[in-house]
Structure formats: C-alpha cells, structure tokens
Amino acid sequence: MPMLEITGLHVVFGGLHAINDLDFAVEKGEIVAVIGPNGAGKTTFFNAISGMVKPTEGQIAFEGRSLLGLDPNKITSRGIARTFQNVRLFANMTVLENVMVSQHCRTRQRILDALLQTRRFRTEEEQVRARGKEVLGFFGTRLTGYRFDQPASVLSYANRRRLEIARAMATSPKLILLDEPVAGMNPVESAELTQLIGKLRDEMGYTIVLIEHDMSVVRDISDRVVVLDHGEAIARGTYAEVSANPQVIEAYLGQSADGS
Amino acid sequence: MTAAGDFPASQDAAPAAAPRRRLLEQDWRKLLRASAILAIAQVFIGLSGMPVSFDRRLLIDPILSLGYLSLLWLPLAVSYWVGREQVLEGMTAYARGGRDVLAGAITGAVGNAGLTLLVVGITHFDIRDPLVNWSPQLLGILEFEESVWLGALIWPAIGAGVGALGGGMHWASSRITRTTVIVLLSVFGTAVLESVITDLSQGFHIEAVSDWLYGPKRGLTYPAAIVVAAAAAAIAGGIAAYRAFLARTASTSGQLGIAASGETSANRVRWRRIPVRRLVGFALSAAAIVVLPLFLGRLTNELLANVGLFILLALGLNIIVGLAGILDLGYVAFFAVGGYSVAVLTSPGSPRFDLEIPWFGALFAAMLLAGLAGLLIGAPVIRMRGDYLAIVTLGFGEIIRVLLLSDWLSGTFNGAQGITNIPGVEVFGLATVRGFEPRSVLYLVLVFCAIAVYVSWRLENSRIGRAWMAIREDESVAEAMGVDTVSAKLMAFVTGAVLGSFSGAILSAKVGSVFPHSFAIIVSIVILVVVIFGGMGSIAGVIAGAAVLIGVLGGPNQPGLLQEFAEYKILIYGALLVWMMLQRSEGLIPSVRRARELHLDEMNQDAWLRAQVAADDAGGGGGGDRSEGEQP
C-alpha cells in the first residue's frame, strides 16, 4: 500500500479548476518530483495535502487513513510536514525558537507545568531544545552557534530556505513536502541542498515530495517525476522518460528542450 | 544611541571635515511646514483650555506654571525636530552651527505667531459660542495680564528664544544636550512629583525637605529649582565621566571581556544561571517595593494601587494582544466579570443571592467565571482574523455592560444602581483590606501583580508561549507546523480573562461598590493604550506604561498625579499614542525580541567567531568545514 494515496482529486476555486481529477501515490522512501509550468496547480496540490485548502472532490489517504476534513495541525501530527515556496518563517522568533515551536504537536506539557516548573516541563524543554539543535545541526554550522539566538529575519536567503526545511524536520514527519527548496539559490548552494535532500531520505528516512523548477535538481535526486499542467497529470515516470515525452516538452520545457 | 555616547570622540572629529552652510541656506519649505504645524497646534492648545486649567498648578514658584509650560514645550520640540537631519551613507554631513539656531528661532517665532493671531482674534471676535473652552482668563494668560500689544508681540519673541534653544541642541555636543535634557526633566519631575515627594518626606519624618522644596502653591521654589538643576547636572556629568572611564578601560583591556560575556549569553539556558547582578537588582527592587508603601501616605498609596490595578489588567491584555497577537477591544468584559462576581457573592446588598462568602472564595468563583467568559467570548471570535475580530470583541465588551445594566438581569445585578456595601478582604484573620486603607489595598494589588508577572514570564518561555508567538507571526503557517491554533488562542483568552478578573475583584473590594458605567468601552481602550504605549509583549514595558499613563495622567475613572490633566487625559492619551506610533512604534520598553534585533546579534556573532578562532588555534587548525561563503 502506498504511503500517500490520492485518487480523483479536484480543487475548484470559483470557476478555476486548479486540480482536475488527479491521481497520485507515493511509496515509503521515495523521492517524487512534481513539475509543471507556472499556474499548473503544484502549490495548490501541496495545500490540499497539508489541509490548507479543502479539496472539492476526491480522496487523500495517508498510511491508509483519510486526511479529508482534518485541520492542518492534525495532518502535521499525523506525520506530513511542508515548506513554503515564498519562505514563511516566524521572522521575529529566533532560529532555535522556529524549530522549537514546530515540535508543538510532539510535546505534551500544559500551562500548569510551565507555571509550576514541573519535572515534565523541564525535561521536555531540554529535549525540545536538544532536538531543535540536532535538526539545525543537519545543515552543518550554518544554523548553529551564534545563529541559534538570531531572529530568523536576519538570515540570508539560502539560510532561510534551510531553516524552513529544518522547521519541517522538527515536526518529526514521515513525509516532507518541499515547495521549491532551491528557488533563489546559486548553483553551488543548490547542488549542496540537492545532496542534503538525498541525505534526508537516505539517512533520516523521510519520504519526500518536492516541487521544483530547477531541472538539474529534479534530474539528480528524483526517483519519479509527475508533470502537472492545468491541474492534470500529463506525464509520469523517471526523469529520462518524462523529459523525452513530447507532450511535456510542449507544455513545460518549451521548444528548445535544453533541460535534458 | 549608546554608540554615540560611548565614542564621543568620533562624533566630535567629524565636523572638522564637514562642510558648513551659510546662515540663510535653509530648507525654507521644511521651516514653513513646521511653523504652520506649530501655529495650528499652539492655537489648538490655547483654545482647548489647557493653559487656563493648568495655570493653577505652579511648577516653579512664581515664574512657571503648568499652563505656561503647555505653551512652551511645543516650540522647543518642533524646532528641535526641524533641525533633525538623517545622514545616510553617501550623503553630506554638514557642520552644525548658527544656522541651526536660526532655523529653530524662525520656526518658533513664526509658529508662535499663531498665538499672536489668537490674541488679536479673541480680543476682537467673540468665539465663545462654538468654542466653549475659551474664556477671558485665556486672554489674560496670553497677555501676561498686561495689554493686547504685549501679548501679541511677546509670543513670537518667546517662540524665537525657545526655538533657538531647540535648534541649538543640534549644535551643542551630545554630552551637553544630554545634560540639558536630564536637568530639564529632573526639574520638571521634581515639580510634578510634588505630592509623592511631600508624602515620602512625611513618611521618613523629614518634612523639612519638602517644605523647603515646595512653595505654598505646590511649585518648586526658586532656590530649590536651582539646587535640583545643579544636582541633576552633577549626576549627569558623573555618569558621563563614568561611561568615558568604562570605554577607556574596555579599549585598553582588550575585547576578551566582551567576548566571554557574549558567549555565555548565547549559550545560556533561560531558566537557570540567572546572572548574580540581575538577581541582586531584582531582590533590591522587590524589597523596595515591599517596604516603600509603609512610608507613603494615603494619596500616594491610593495612586499606586490604581496603577497596580491597571498593571494587572494590562498584563492580562498583554497575553492576548502582545503575545498571541489577538486584537481584543472588549477586554473590559473580563474586568467586569471579576468585579461583579465578587460583588454578587460577597455583598449583603446583593439583590438575588445572600451568600456573603469571604473574598477569597469569591475570587475563586470570579476566576472560574472569567475563564468561562473567556471561552464564551473566545469561541465565536477565534476563527476570525484582523479587523473582524477586533470589531466583534468590541461588541462583546459592550454586551457585558448592557447586560449588567439591563432590566432583565436587574434582579441579580441591580441595574444602574449597581451593588454596594461590598465588604473588604479578610486575609485569613490576619488583616483586613479595605478601600479606606489604601496601603492594605496596595499590598493586595502587589501580590496579584507579582502573580501576573510570574505567569506572563513563565508562559512566554514555554510551549504555549512559543505557540502564541508563532500565531502572532503567521497564523496559517503556525497551524501548518502543527500548532493547534484554536486551543492556543482560547488559552490566551482564558489566561488573559483570569488576570483581568483579579483586577476587577480587587477593585470591587477596594471601592466597595460596582456600577455598570465603571466598565465602559473607554476602559478597554485605555488598557490597550497602556499595552501599546509600554511595548507590546514586554512585561517591563507594560508596567512602565501603566506607571506613566495611569500614574501621571490617571485612569478612566481614577485621578493621576497631575489631577489638572483630568479633563484632557483622553486627548493626551491620543496624542501620545500617535506620537508613539510615529516615533517609537515598538513601545516605551520594547520586548527583548524586538530590541535584540538591533544590537545583540553583532555582538554574539563576533563572540562566536572569536571562540571559533580560539578553538581553531587550540585544535591545530581544525574546523575546516566552516564555510564563510554566504554569510549574510
């Protein structure tokens, strides 16, 4: 059984059919890339999975249980985390606080624990802090040391993208949805992050679905590629298969087809 | 700001190379605009009646009354503002000099010509019909009880003088400016705090001091003003010298000290290892707060108790608005729930129930009811955002007051007559807190303020506090990151409601009666202004905001230090709020979160880099993976 199984998904905004009868499945341990031209419905697709947009029709099942009608925070606690295309960090919170707050659904302390400084409060605070540092440590020294106590707003653009991924990791997910993780990065940074995404799967055991416009990233790490256009899946398969598909070339890669 | 103070040399060195401007090389357009604003503002102040009603209060006997001050401070402020120049990278920094004095003088003179027009105008036209605050006394004040000609001519002259002073502040070195400001504020503060200082000196049995300081009409006497000014100047000079000394020792002993302290602050675990200096400071101020009321008289204790009640309210609202970012304009509802719960349950005059349970029992009930009210009000509004939420909470605040006033519930709440005969607080048979003993009320308030501060502090640094911050930053992302926003926002409402109900419960025991009109919408607004003025999300800021606004100006139904301001306090609240939003939107004492963004980062970064370098040196060049390629 696939980890995430979507059947017959429709998302309609007024007259706009953003997602049109989409079937999609991800097996545990896969890295699947979702590509498509601007306005193809990729981010809407992510929003539907993470509960930020209610599907008009269709089924979304995660590990065999339906996600329909759940609030985004419930979906996150089921084990699906996401990042945002237009980086949306908690800008005035520190780097460490950003990854501490996203452990909210994994922690249990109550207000009284905080007021009475119970043992549960103190051990849990230590754990949350330690776990936050561990997650940040995944990105080398870029988000550690003095950076722990820096507000997220002072980070460089690439570091903000990294912190978004760290924040998603801190929710202890099984599936991570990455919305254009390397957008705005230079080639060196993007190559490095591509490697890291591979490590996320190989070492941390996350299953990954990513939206990406950078074809070199898609080529390097994706096991499978799904191409969306006008809310419909027009092609599926490996990168090589998809990039040779004439329909895809027409819809997405354009006439020069220099992506391959 | 501190950098300018710490390194005056660098500032003084700059003008040597800076180009000068000729005396008449002015930004005339800016001067004209400032003068026009000043003129309008001065006429407005005059016609609002402030000079007349403040004239009874002398600040320096007999030359300066609060009334005249109300007409003097604005030319000073505006002419200082005119001279302000922001020098950005790549712009020319001009030398300051006589040109700035002239700019200030022109602004002050032209602006105060507005008062000339006013003097001439009100001698020839009767404008009493639309402007009821105008009175013959205003003309008397503006003319210095002499003649129209004197009045018409002297104000531009005064404006020129005061304006020259304001403009000249840019010419003077920062040390002189700072000293002047400190001296002026000290003299003003000593004069304004007359009742507190008299009260204190009576408490310490040194009435001679206050007798010498203040004349029969409550103003500072001449010699006293001079002595206070001299003392303030001496203290300011001492502080400057001490700072210079610190700067010198810091530069000679190298950066090691700073590096070490920066490092510890970066790695500090919050709830442990509180630095000794802060601990000692905390203990001393706590002791002072506990001991001081013993030496204060009735008036001051009463005043402080009122301030404390508003600190409680503001801390409660701070959780809702400052931490969770929910703009609640109906906070007075929880204040009312606290007050009426205690009134209904403890008073023998309560129309329906004849329970007369002790205050602490009623407090418990008030907490429960307030929590319930928080849930009831919170539940429907929690899914709204922004403006809609603010308007709906505004409505709920009014609904509570209307319910209390209604015929329908008058069997319980007694309608507009309210509930009277509320007994005092029996503290476990040890003492009784009653309204006519303000000191006991103050102690009760202090206990609850301490509880509120503790609650705010602990919650801010906990799971729920982080959730609130995340919601304030970006609600939908917070939800996507697994934060249960509905329950977190409800918790904010409930916690804020309970803290507000404490204040209401104390108020009804203190006053001995509650009436629906005590819980009008203006109370919500004032509490919100206190929070915004003090600094949203900052505990110290909220306390300072309450002390300044409620203590000095007074609350919606409570007199402040400057009882003369009573009629104008809402106007002054509004003006202060507007000024605050324009100049210092983060509040009087901003929360660490906002202040930190400015300075601490660089320090921590340097400290960390130095620590890395030291580690590399010690480890024989390890840590090669430290990529510096894309530091922001």
Mean of pLDDT values over A179-204: 91
- Read off the pLDDT of residues A75-121 as tens digits, 9 standing for 90 and up: 999 999 999 999 999 988 999 999 999 999 898 888 888 888 888 89
**B562 falls in which pLDDT band (50, 70, 90)?**
confident
pLDDT for position B84: 84
What is the C-alpha to C-alpha distance for residues B291 and A223, in angstroms, rounded to an integer?
A: 73
Residue B622: per-residue pLDDT: 41
Do the Cβ atoms of B478 and A90 come within 8 Å? yes
- Sorted by sequence, the CB contacts under 8 Å of residue B630 that are 6+ apart come out as A156, A158, A159, A189
Query: What integer best gives the mean pLDDT of chain A?
Result: 90
Residue B537 in 3-state DSSP? coil
* DSSP element (H, E) containing B541: helix B539-546
Residue A172: helix, strand or coil by DSSP?
coil
d(CA B240, CA B262): 24
Q: Are B314 and B530 contacting, i.e. CB atoms less than 8 angstroms apart?
A: yes
Q: How far is A250 from chain B (nearest CA, A)?
A: 35
Distances (CA, A) of B488 to A107, A259, B457: 14, 47, 17
Please report, for residues B9, B82, B93, B201, the alpha-carbon distance to residue B86 in angstroms, rounded to integers and kept in the order given.
Answer: 20, 11, 9, 45
Q: What is the pLDDT of residue B197?
A: 84
- Residue B213 CB: number of other CB atoms within 10 A? 21
| Cα–Cα distance, A177 to B75 (Å, whole number) | 60
Judge contact between A27 and A80, C-beta under 8 A: no
Average pLDDT over residues B535-548: 91
Q: A205-219, B254-268, B613-627 — which is least confidently predicted?
A: B254-268
Q: B277 to each of B118, B273, B284, B461, how far by Cα in Å?
A: 56, 11, 11, 21
What's the rounded mean pLDDT across residues B164-186? 87
Q: Is the pLDDT of residue B15 over 80?
A: no
| B interface test, pick of A47, A73, A109 with most B CB neighbours within 10 Å | A73
What's the pLDDT score for residue B208? 85
Dihedral, B217, B218, B219, B225 alpha carbons, nearest 10: 130
Mean pLDDT of B124-151: 81
Q: Are A212 and A182 in contact (CB under 8 A)?
A: yes
The pLDDT of residue B353 is 80
Percent of chain B with pLDDT over 90: 36
Please indicate whether residue B99 or residue B597 has the higher confidence score (pLDDT): B99
Confidence grade of residue B122 (pLDDT, cut at 50, 70, 90):
confident
B623 has pLDDT over 80: no
Across the range B160-174, mean pLDDT stands at 88
Average pLDDT of every residue of chain B: 83
Q: What are phi and psi of B327, to 5 degrees?
A: -75, 100
B629 touches chain A (CB under 8 A): yes
Q: What angle do CA B495, B498, B500 make, to 5 degrees?
A: 110
Candidate ranges B369-373, B573-577, B611-615; pick with highest mean pLDDT: B369-373
| Contact (CB, 8 A) for A206 and A220 | no
Predicted pLDDT at B412:
86
Chain B residue with minimal CA distance to A158? B630
Q: What percent of chain A has pLDDT over 90?
A: 65
pLDDT, position B124: 83
Q: Give pTM, 2 decimals.
A: 0.83
What is the rounded average pLDDT of the residues A130-136? 94
Q: Which residue has the higher pLDDT, A247 or A58?
A: A58
- Which pLDDT score, from 0 to 100, does residue B259 have? 41
A258 located within any domain: no
Phi and psi angles of residue B128, each rounded to the nearest 5 degrees, phi first: -70, -25
The confidence band for B516, taking pLDDT boundaries of 50, 70 and 90, is very high
CA dihedral over B166, B167, B172, B173, signed as positive or negative: positive
Question: What's the CA gap between A23 and A4, in Å, rounded?
Answer: 11
Q: Indicate whether B271 pLDDT > 60.
A: no
What CATH number is attached to the domain comprising A75? 3.40.50.300
Are the C-beta atoms of residues A121 and A115 closer than 8 Å to each other?
no
The question of ipTM being above 0.95 is answered as no
Q: Does A90 touch chain B (CB under 8 A)?
A: yes
pLDDT band at A134 (very low <50, low <70, confident <90, very high): very high
Give residue-wise pLDDT tens across range B47-94.
888 888 888 888 887 788 888 888 999 999 999 988 888 777 677 778
A196 in contact with B, Cβ within 8 Å = no
Q: Which has the higher per-residue pLDDT, B177 or B267?
A: B177
Q: Would you say residue B196 has pLDDT above 90?
A: no
Of A73, A113, A151, the CB nearest to B479: A73
Which residue of chain A comes nearest to B453, CA vs CA?
A115
Q: What does the pLDDT read at residue B248? A: 81
Identify which of A71, A114, A188 has the shortest CB distance to residue B458.
A114
Contact status of B464 with chain A (Cβ, < 8 Å): yes
More confident residue, B556 or A48: A48
pLDDT value, residue B253: 53
Distance between CA A11 and CA A214 in Å, rounded? Answer: 26
Q: Is 80 exceeded by the pLDDT of residue B431?
A: no
Q: What is the pLDDT of residue A174?
A: 94
CA dihedral in degrees (B59, B62, B63, B64; nearest 10)? 20
In chain B, what are the domain boundaries? 19-85+93-172, 296-519
**Mean pLDDT lowest for which of B303-307, B319-323, B422-426?**
B422-426
The confidence score (pLDDT) of residue B143 equals 85
Structure-token pair, residue A59? 């089924």
Diameter of chain A by CA atoms? Answer: 67
The confidence score (pLDDT) of residue B523 equals 92
Q: How far is A201 from chain B (nearest CA, A)?
A: 20
Check if the beta carbon of residue B475 is closer than 8 Å to that of residue B533: no
Q: Is the pLDDT of residue B46 over 70?
A: yes
Out of B82-86, B235-239, B603-607, pick the least confident.
Answer: B603-607
Query: How many residues make up chain A in this entry?
Result: 260
Which position has the token pair 């295309």? A85
Under 8 Å CB pairs connecting chains A and B tally to 143
Could you tell me the pLDDT band of residue B135, with boundaries at 50, 70 and 90?
Answer: confident
Residue pair A93/B593 in contact (Cβ under 8 Å)? The answer is yes
B-contacting residues of A 218-257, CB under 8 Å? none
In 3D space, the residue among B95, B80, B63 whose CA is nearest the CA of residue B191 turns out to be: B63
Measure the CA–CA gap between B260 and B266, rounded to whole angstroms.
Answer: 10
Domain membership of residue A213 (yes or no) is yes
Q: What is the predicted pLDDT for the residue at B247?
A: 81
How much is the average pLDDT of B114-126? 86
Q: In total, how many domains does chain A have?
A: 1
Q: What confidence category does residue B604 fall into, taking pLDDT thresholds of 50, 70 and 90?
A: low
Cβ atoms B555, B563 nearer than 8 A = no
pLDDT at B500: 95
DSSP secondary structure of B134-168? --HHHHHHHTTTS-HHHHHHHHHHHHHHHHHHHHH
Per-range mean pLDDT, top range of A168-172, B136-140, B618-622: A168-172
Radius of gyration of chain A (CA): 19
B299: burial class by Cβ within 10 Å (0-12, 13-18, 19+)?
Answer: middle
